[in-house]
Amino acid sequence: MNLQEIKQAIEEGKIVYWSNSAYRVNKYPNNQYVIECMLNRHCIGLTWLDGKTMNGEEKDFYTE
């Protein structure tokens, strides 16, 4: 999934994962998208500071 597809899926209420179901993409109230590890709650930004380069390859993001 590309960045726009990920954001659209989340807006539609779908759950987006990165790599496996332990890593979920969430949107914070301040409109920041993060990848959150559901095992320890550690988060990283979905993108680098440029807002375009994703922290992960497009092929590794998916919905169920």
pTM: 0.92
Kindly tell me if the per-residue pLDDT of 40 is higher than 90.
yes
Residue extents of the structural domains in the chain: 3-63
List the helix and strand counts (H, then E) for the chain: 1, 5
Q: Name the token pair of 45.
A: 């930004």
**In the chain, where does DSSP find H-type helix?**
3-11
The pLDDT tens digits of the residues spanning 47-60 come to 999 999 999 999 99
Confidence of residue 39 (pLDDT cuts 50, 70, 90): very high
Report which residue type is found at 62: Y
Kindly tell me if the per-residue pLDDT of 11 is higher than 90.
yes
What's the first-to-final CA gap in the chain, in angstroms? 13
Quick one: pLDDT at residue 64? 85
- Looking at residues 8-31, what average pLDDT do you find? 97
The 3-state DSSP class for residue 11 equals helix
